[in-house]
């Protein structure tokens, strides 16, 4: 029989394995973004010097960027700079990319967080109801609602939403984070317009920002709702078919207790992963919504940088979103192991 490792040592090995997995995943992500940036038909030198630059100026910038070096050496230097927090200079803003990312990412985080709250608050009850009334009219209704969220392109919904609720009905504010009149009033400490405006007592700015945020947040919340409700339905159908549910009913437990306490309580464990992945998906997929609504977030920043051939900004923004997605995935695994003791490594 093989000897069992002491628990502290086993935990250290598990942590080391997890850390190595994260490092390899992030290195692969960095490699993917780097080589995609190299194969795109965009000349980063022309983005800096312009098309009217002389060949001498072009060659000088070409050498300064290190594009004459072997591709493996360029990648090694790229990774080294990333580890030092150096993502290069944005050609569009003439600022360090890391400065731009810190300035634009809070707006995306704010929008995605509100969208996730909408998705969780509405999506989980819809999924529970669909599973409980399986193959009945509530199930069919909620599945159609979710199917629309999956099938209809979000950029089309965004354009229709702007036309109907902003242009025709005037129920919400239009593109942008706040009206031009309120620009610059609030000192941006956290980067979140709602937090900064409320903490500084600028309630006019706060409610104006809410009016601008309602439509884009609802749209990405609808996208999140479609995913969360579908996965909740699937998990709940599995839980409601288990023997412990039948046992609880035979013991006289109410349907509310059976569904909400027993079935949903056990379904909550895998739903942690679902919610985390949905959050990452909102952060990752906000490019179109932010572009259409002129939302000053990381998605709009990446989109604008791509059309300006600003590859430092594009790679930095893409890498940041990928890192957040990976970390959320890892965090969901950790929470899963904490909430479900059966998934932990058993040691004696």
For position 305, which CATH number holds? Answer: 1.10.3720.10
Nearest CA to 209 out of 293, 287, 292 is that of 293
- Per-residue pLDDT of the chain (348 residues), as tens digits, is 445 667 677 667 777 887 788 788 878 878 887 887 777 777 777 777 777 778 888 888 788 777 778 888 888 888 888 888 888 888 788 888 898 998 888 889 899 999 999 999 999 999 999 998 988 998 899 999 888 887 888 888 889 989 999 988 888 888 888 888 888 888 888 878 888 898 888 899 899 999 999 999 999 999 889 999 999 999 999 888 888 888 888 888 888 888 888 888 888 888 888 888 888 888 776 778 888 898 888 888 888 887 777 878 888 888 888 788 878 877 777 777 776 655 555 444
Compute the residue count for the chain: 348
Rounded to whole angstroms, the maximal C-alpha distance in the chain is: 86
* Structure-derived torsion over alpha carbons of residues 270, 276, 281, 286, reported in degrees to the nearest 10: 150
Residue 253 lies in a domain: yes
Q: Please, are residues 217 and 154 in contact by the beta-carbon 8 Å criterion?
A: no
- Token representation of residue 79: 């990774």
d(CA 208, CA 186): 12
Q: H/E element holding 115?
A: helix 97-132
Q: Which tens digit of pLDDT belongs to each residue from 298-342?
A: 888 888 887 777 878 888 888 888 788 878 877 777 777 776 655
Residue 8 lies in a domain: no
Residues 168 and 249 grouped into a single domain: yes
Residues 181 and 268 grouped into a single domain: yes
Residues 147 and 29 grouped into a single domain: no
Q: Please, are residues 267 and 236 in contact by the beta-carbon 8 Å criterion?
A: yes
Residue 10 lies in a domain: no
Residue 91 lies in a domain: no
Torsion region of 277: left, alpha or beta (phi above 0 gives left; psi -120 to 50 gives alpha): alpha
Residues 156 and 69 grouped into a single domain: no
Residues 104 and 236 grouped into a single domain: yes
Residues 322 and 244 grouped into a single domain: yes
Residues 61 and 130 grouped into a single domain: no
Residues 187 and 254 grouped into a single domain: yes
Q: How far is CA 189 from CA 53, 163, 227, 295, 324, in A?
A: 40, 33, 33, 18, 21
Looking at the structure of the chain, the number of domains it has is: 2
Q: How many C-alpha atoms does 297 have within 13 Å on its Cβ side?
A: 32
Residues 314 and 200 grouped into a single domain: yes
Residue after which a domain boundary falls, among 35, 60, 83: 83
Is the overall model pTM greater than 0.85, yes or no?
no
d(CA 158, CA 339): 37
Structural domain range at position 75: 20-83
Residue after which a domain boundary falls, among 83, 110, 132: 83
Residue after which a domain boundary falls, among 34, 54, 83: 83
Residues 276 and 214 grouped into a single domain: yes
Residues 52 and 177 grouped into a single domain: no
Radius of gyration of the chain (CA): 25
d(CA 107, CA 113): 10
Residues 25 and 159 grouped into a single domain: no
């Amino acid at each position: 029989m093989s000897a069992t490792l002491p628990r502290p040592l086993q935990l250290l090995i598990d942590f080391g394995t997890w850390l190595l997995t994260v490092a390899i995943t992030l290195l692969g992500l960095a490699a993917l973004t780097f080589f995609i940036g190299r194969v795109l038909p965009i000349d980063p030198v022309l983005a800096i010097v312009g098309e009217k630059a002389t060949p001498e100026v072009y060659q000088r910038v070409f050498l300064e960027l290190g594009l004459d070096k072997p591709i493996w050496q360029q990648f090694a230097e790229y990774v080294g700079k990333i580890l030092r927090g150096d993502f290069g200079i944005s050609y569009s803003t003439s600022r360090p990319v890391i400065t731009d990312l810190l300035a634009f990412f809070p707006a995306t985080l704010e929008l995605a967080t509100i969208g996730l709250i909408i998705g969780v608050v509405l999506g989980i009850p819809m999924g529970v109801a669909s599973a409980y009334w399986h193959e009945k009219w509530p199930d069919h209704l909620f599945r159609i609602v979710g199917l629309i969220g999956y099938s209809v392109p979000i950029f089309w919904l965004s354009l229709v939403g702007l036309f109907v609720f902003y242009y025709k009905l005037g129920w919400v504010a239009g593109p942008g984070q706040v009206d031009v009149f309120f620009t610059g009033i609030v000192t941006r400490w956290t980067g979140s317009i709602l937090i900064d405006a409320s903490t500084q007592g600028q309630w006019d700015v706060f409610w104006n920002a809410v009016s601008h945020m309602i439509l884009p947040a609802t749209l990405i919340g609808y996208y999140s709702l479609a995913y969360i409700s579908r996965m909740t339905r699937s998990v709940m159908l599995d839980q409601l078919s288990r023997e412990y549910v039948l046992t609880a009913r035979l013991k006289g437990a109410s349907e509310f207790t059976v569904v909400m306490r027993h079935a949903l309580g056990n379904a909550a464990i895998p739903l942690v992963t679902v919610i985390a992945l949905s959050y990452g998906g909102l952060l990752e997929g906000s490019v179109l919504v932010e572009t259409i609504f002129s939302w000053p977030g990381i998605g709009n920043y990446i989109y604008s940088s791509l059309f300006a051939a600003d590859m430092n900004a594009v790679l930095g923004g893409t890498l940041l979103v990928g890192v957040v997605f990976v970390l959320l995935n890892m965090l969901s695994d950790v929470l899963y192991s904490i909430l479900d003791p059966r998934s932990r490594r058993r040691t004696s």
